[in-house]
Amino acid sequence: MSEKKKTTYEDAEERPLKETKRTPRQRMFYMAATLAWAACGGALFSYFQMPLAWMIGAMVFTMVLAIFGVRLQGPGKGRAYMITVLGVMLGSAFTPDVLDHAMRWGISLAAVVIFVILMTAMLSFALQRVFGLKRAEALLSASPGGFGEMVLIAESYNADVKTVSMIHATRVMFTVLLIPIYFRLFEGYVPPEVSPMGNVAGLSLEDAIVLLATAVIGYWGGKQLKLPAAALMGPMFLSIAIHLTGWTQAKPPVELVNLAQIVLGTGVGCRFVGIERKELINPVGIGIICAAVTLACALGAASILEYLTNLDQLVLWIAFAPGGLPEMTLISLAMHIDTAFVATHHLARILFIVIVISLASRILLGKPVNEEE
């Protein structure tokens, strides 16, 4: 018997919904063309002063092109490499002053756990009773996070991977698109002309070497420790240690962060590659409804927690919003919102989902069909 290749967490996150066989040269050509389209989208959104312009513009352009059948190629491993940049950047937000205030986060972190449990239970019930999804698809689609892990679990139970993937991809896209637009229209947010991250010209050679080493060693260490989203968590944890010890206070330059936004947005948009437009109606509609309900409930939870903790409601809302971990922390950076606070809460959300949904699926669905002996 041939041995089946094991799918990893990052494979599930990075691959498009439908893979196309291409030669390496063809993949490079289509990837370059896709990133060029994505950069055009980012530039257009930046011209109109949209928050998080480079990621949202890239995401919208590639999604529209994918839906209309244009040949695209996702960034593949390039996404993981760019996420290491975000990991280093997020780690730089954890200063001694931030840690002094971390004790205030206990109530809101506990609330994240309760929020995940309630939202998963409520949405799972609704997806079965209202939309007619099977138990496995309903449970895995209802989770407010953990895109890659939910796809892996769906595969192990022979569930409808396409439906689960599309609902989660839509959830991430709708959330990432809606929050910056809300801040632009209703909070009067305008991106600053000068980035607080600095630029390549202002980065010393020593700091550049330290940041590069942090990204490479952190990514390798995260993979060795088998961390979920190792490309983000490994560099982030190492960056926290380096910045807290005072080894460097440097941050990744804005040019590199913008490039990371383009690649990240392209990765989200390319998840719709190969999907017929008629196939989009039901899963995308469900994904939008799930995201809207979760965002509304997150805003309600933020209002209650603002009263209990005296923390800002909008900060809490972003910390509870059901977007992807890299995407939501980028939003907090663009909005000049406490990035360490948002990152910590989203890390707690993702880790809790990964652990609890894996256990809950065994209890509710039984032993995985495709589990390796």
CA-based nearest residue to 120, from 366, 278, 355: 355
Residues 6 or more apart whose CB falls under 8 angstroms from that of 306 comprise 312, 313, 316
> What pLDDT score does 192 carry?
57
CATH of domain 9-365: 1.20.1530
- Beta carbons of 346 and 109 less than 8 angstroms apart: no
Pairwise CA distance, residues 167 & 296, whole Å: 18
Digit-coded pLDDT (tens) for 315-362? 999 999 988 777 787 788 777 788 888 888 888 888 788 778 878 888
User: What pTM was computed for the model?
Assistant: 0.74
Q: What is the mean predicted confidence (pLDDT) over 352-373?
A: 74
**Residue 20 — pLDDT band, cuts 50, 70, 90?**
low
Q: What is the mean predicted confidence (pLDDT) over 190-199?
A: 58
- Beta carbons of 86 and 232 less than 8 angstroms apart: yes
Q: Is the dihedral of CA 30, 33, 35, 38 positive or negative?
A: negative
Which residue's structure tokens are 């290749």? 5
Alpha helices in 23-158 (DSSP H): 24-47, 53-67, 77-91, 96-100, 106-129, 135-142, 147-156
CA-based nearest residue to 88, from 246, 225, 237, 247: 237
